[in-house]
Homo-oligomer: A and B are copies of this chain.
């Protein structure tokens, strides 16, 4: 047993053979947010306050102090925010995320010798003990701090030392040393000896607000025209923009706008062998007219696209593009870079399959290729090309069939220079894969909302999305329909179901979207399937945008309510409330200060009226248990007087969902002044 053995010893990270100080006794653990041991960043938006908490303690009885250290990821200088002890060795600190960037944070904790001393001397003095020796010990701590103090603090500490040196009345000396000014000066000048910095630097992606709060409208631009003999151009599609903006949408998401391959092109309703007038599926990207950085000629030119983007921007909307990283057999990639695909033993490129189904019109990229670096760079080039055209939002098609580490790299790399860029993951797959994509960097994610119709499954799923660790990295963008999915509930429930599912999407999450024709209540399926008959995927269509039975006024109203209520701009503030009927779900959202509070009650049965008692959390709302309160029905404009246990009836043929603003009744004093 030699000293050597001690120094090299066991795999403690702590004993440093060349330091004089003993290893710190501070333990910092269970830091939040911290995803998978810091492997992945948390997500917030600019303007948020980040709360960092941790278990922090040390052996023995010393008082400790702790600070959150934080900085922009691209900066070197740390800032600090004091943490405070909450309970049971749990500490918490906060800082403001000012900019759309990435930030790094960690924790430093250390013994607080002055606080320990204060506590000791106070107890002894109160017990009538002589504290002469303790005062000399306090003087040593003050003296040590003096070298770090400046300005007024320096004066305060020097004065305190002089009082001890003066050796006057002990009670007076104690009182002066325990004064708040000395305490404040000591906090600023305190030693961090014996302290420890948490051994991980954690990251938070600070997105812009639209990452969390936006209403999306998906459209096939070619179906936005009026001529049934051909697809619409961007110029024609831009005529639709004022209507879309008028409904209150923030993002216009376009299915792929690139040239469509001819080889194995599909006809109407996914038939094999397209006719000469069949426009093809926009996801079969690439022809002799170009690939992922080109515009389908039927839509117009790159200039036309830029004009479309500008027209949207003038209406306060942005344009999101669909990123489908796959190729038609006619794509230039297939000719110039066959090594980016899977080559079969007969030399052909492996087309997409889901055995026994075959998709000869699509070549998937092979992310296992040895030429992966060139492939990754080309795909990044595509994204940056569109960023250069003013696109700041991308909806990524089937990201789970591509390499997750590729996405992790791509998103971080693009956001390094363009932190404003938003990526939406369109993965409908196994839960852990969907979570992995979100952790890897996707700003938003599709969810199972599309198929969650009943009370218990909805409440369980949204509790997980918004109240579990998922809320740190996964932002569910709720779509009641997509161009690929016409859920049975919309097929069978008709107009009441369209209203009900819209109200849910727009209020359960702060970010949601619909696929166009939703506002028209279009719900003709391929029989027995959750797919649209005569889908726009395979043809260009002309729509009657004012068709009877549409829910455009409803959508417009709910989007206006969303804008007016900041409670609906937050994601993790969703809370469910008990109701007695299995068809009726009730939930609320509020701003952190409680100033804005919205209560939503939805009848999930699109066929029949139901009624129930609601049980509302008055204490949580700052109300007395028996206190009545006002609710304003945000759809009807009516005001009601409500109670903790409130009866409600919802007829889906009238209003399947009710949105209420909750307001305490002003407690007016009827005792007039005498003035």
- Judge whether A412 is part of the interface by a CB distance below 8 angstroms: yes
When distances are taken between beta carbons in the complex, the residues of chain B under 8 Å from A373 are: 3, 6-7
Choose from B30, B119, B368 the contact partner of A22 (Cβ within 8 Å).
B368
Which of chain B's residues has its CB closest to A20's CB? B370
B367 and A25 within 8 A (CB): yes
Give the segment of A122-130, A314-322, A560-568, A657-665 that binds chain B: A122-130
- Judge whether A667 is part of the interface by a CB distance below 8 angstroms: no
A10 and B416 within 8 A (CB): yes
When distances are taken between beta carbons in the complex, the residues of chain B under 8 Å from A23 are: 372, 403, 405
When distances are taken between beta carbons in the complex, the residues of chain B under 8 Å from A57 are: 430, 432-433, 436
Give the segment of A149-157, A376-384, A452-460 that binds chain B: A376-384
B346 and A133 within 8 A (CB): yes
B409 and A15 within 8 A (CB): yes
Q: State how many angstroms separate the Cβ of A59 from the closest Cβ of chain B.
A: 5
Contacts known (A123-B355, A372-B22, A408-B12); A377 close to B3, Cβ less than 8 A: yes
When distances are taken between beta carbons in the complex, the residues of chain B under 8 Å from A627 are: none
Choose from B12, B20, B409 the contact partner of A405 (Cβ within 8 Å).
B12
Q: State how many angstroms separate the Cβ of A105 from the closest Cβ of chain B.
A: 15
Interfacial residues of chain A within 419-436, with CB under 8 A of chain B in the complex? 430-433, 436
A367 and B22 within 8 A (CB): yes
Complex Cα gap A432–B58 (Å): 10
When distances are taken between beta carbons in the complex, the residues of chain B under 8 Å from A402 are: 59-60
- Judge whether A136 is part of the interface by a CB distance below 8 angstroms: yes
Which of chain B's residues has its CB closest to A27's CB? B436
Complex Cα gap A665–B281 (Å): 68
Centre residue among A23, A37, A55, A405 by max chain B CB count within 10 A: A405
1/0 contact string of A82-108 vs chain B (CB within 8 Å): 000000110000000000000000000
1/0 contact string of A202-224 vs chain B (CB within 8 Å): 00000000000000000000000
When distances are taken between beta carbons in the complex, the residues of chain B under 8 Å from A25 are: 367, 403-405
B405 and A88 within 8 A (CB): no
- A: number of interface residues (CB 8 Å): 76
Choose from B10, B22, B377, B408 the contact partner of A6 (Cβ within 8 Å).
B377
Complex Cα gap A127–B345 (Å): 22
1/0 contact string of A1-36 vs chain B (CB within 8 Å): 101011101111011000011111101011000001
Which of chain B's residues has its CB closest to A374's CB? B3
B433 and A356 within 8 A (CB): no
Choose from B55, B137, B433 the contact partner of A344 (Cβ within 8 Å).
B137
- Judge whether A179 is part of the interface by a CB distance below 8 angstroms: no
Name 20 interchain pairs, CB-CB below 8 A, sorted by A: A1-B377, A3-B373, A3-B377, A6-B413, A9-B409, A10-B408, A10-B416, A12-B412, A15-B405, A20-B370, A22-B370, A22-B403, A25-B405, A55-B432, A61-B401, A120-B353, A124-B355, A127-B355, A133-B344, A140-B345
- Judge whether A194 is part of the interface by a CB distance below 8 angstroms: yes
Which of chain B's residues has its CB closest to A411's CB? B10
Interfacial residues of chain A within 377-411, with CB under 8 A of chain B in the complex? 377, 380-381, 384, 400-405, 408-409
Interfacial residues of chain A within 566-582, with CB under 8 A of chain B in the complex? none
Q: State how many angstroms separate the Cβ of A21 from the closest Cβ of chain B.
A: 7
- Judge whether A369 is part of the interface by a CB distance below 8 angstroms: yes
Interfacial residues of chain A within 436-480, with CB under 8 A of chain B in the complex? 436
Per CB-CB distance, the 8 closest pairs between chain A and chain B, nearest first, are A127-B356, A22-B372, A37-B37, A123-B355, A10-B412, A136-B345, A23-B405, A89-B432
B10 and A381 within 8 A (CB): no
Choose from B11, B376, B433 the contact partner of A59 (Cβ within 8 Å).
B433
Which of chain B's residues has its CB closest to A121's CB? B355
When distances are taken between beta carbons in the complex, the residues of chain B under 8 Å from A400 are: 59-60
Complex Cα gap A672–B433 (Å): 59
When distances are taken between beta carbons in the complex, the residues of chain B under 8 Å from A61 are: 401
Complex Cα gap A401–B25 (Å): 11
Which of chain B's residues has its CB closest to A409's CB? B12
Complex Cα gap A12–B41 (Å): 12
Contacts known (A124-B355, A409-B10); A404 close to B22, Cβ less than 8 A: no
Which of chain B's residues has its CB closest to A399's CB? B59
Choose from B1, B20, B129, B432 the contact partner of A380 (Cβ within 8 Å).
B1
Complex Cα gap A21–B403 (Å): 13
When distances are taken between beta carbons in the complex, the residues of chain B under 8 Å from A436 are: 27, 57
Which of chain B's residues has its CB closest to A375's CB? B22
Which of chain B's residues has its CB closest to A437's CB? B59
B413 and A9 within 8 A (CB): yes
Q: State how many angstroms separate the Cβ of A385 from the closest Cβ of chain B.
A: 11
When distances are taken between beta carbons in the complex, the residues of chain B under 8 Å from A27 are: 404, 436
B370 and A133 within 8 A (CB): no
Complex Cα gap A447–B171 (Å): 42
Choose from B119, B137, B401 the contact partner of A60 (Cβ within 8 Å).
B401
When distances are taken between beta carbons in the complex, the residues of chain B under 8 Å from A129 are: 356
Which of chain B's residues has its CB closest to A73's CB? B11
Which of chain B's residues has its CB closest to A400's CB? B59
Complex Cα gap A670–B11 (Å): 65
Complex Cα gap A58–B140 (Å): 60
Complex Cα gap A484–B73 (Å): 53
Centre residue among A3, A15, A412 by max chain B CB count within 10 A: A15
Which of chain B's residues has its CB closest to A59's CB? B404
Complex Cα gap A370–B20 (Å): 6
Choose from B6, B431, B432 the contact partner of A376 (Cβ within 8 Å).
B6
Q: State how many angstroms separate the Cβ of A140 from the closest Cβ of chain B.
A: 7
Complex Cα gap A39–B369 (Å): 36
Q: State how many angstroms separate the Cβ of A101 from the closest Cβ of chain B.
A: 14
B137 and A1 within 8 A (CB): no
Which of chain B's residues has its CB closest to A436's CB? B27
Complex Cα gap A376–B384 (Å): 59
Complex Cα gap A21–B373 (Å): 10
1/0 contact string of A347-367 vs chain B (CB within 8 Å): 000000101100000000001
When distances are taken between beta carbons in the complex, the residues of chain B under 8 Å from A430 are: 57, 88-89
A59 and B403 within 8 A (CB): yes
Complex Cα gap A14–B407 (Å): 12
When distances are taken between beta carbons in the complex, the residues of chain B under 8 Å from A1 are: 377, 380-381, 384
Complex Cα gap A408–B14 (Å): 10
Contacts known (A10-B409, A409-B10); A356 close to B89, Cβ less than 8 A: no
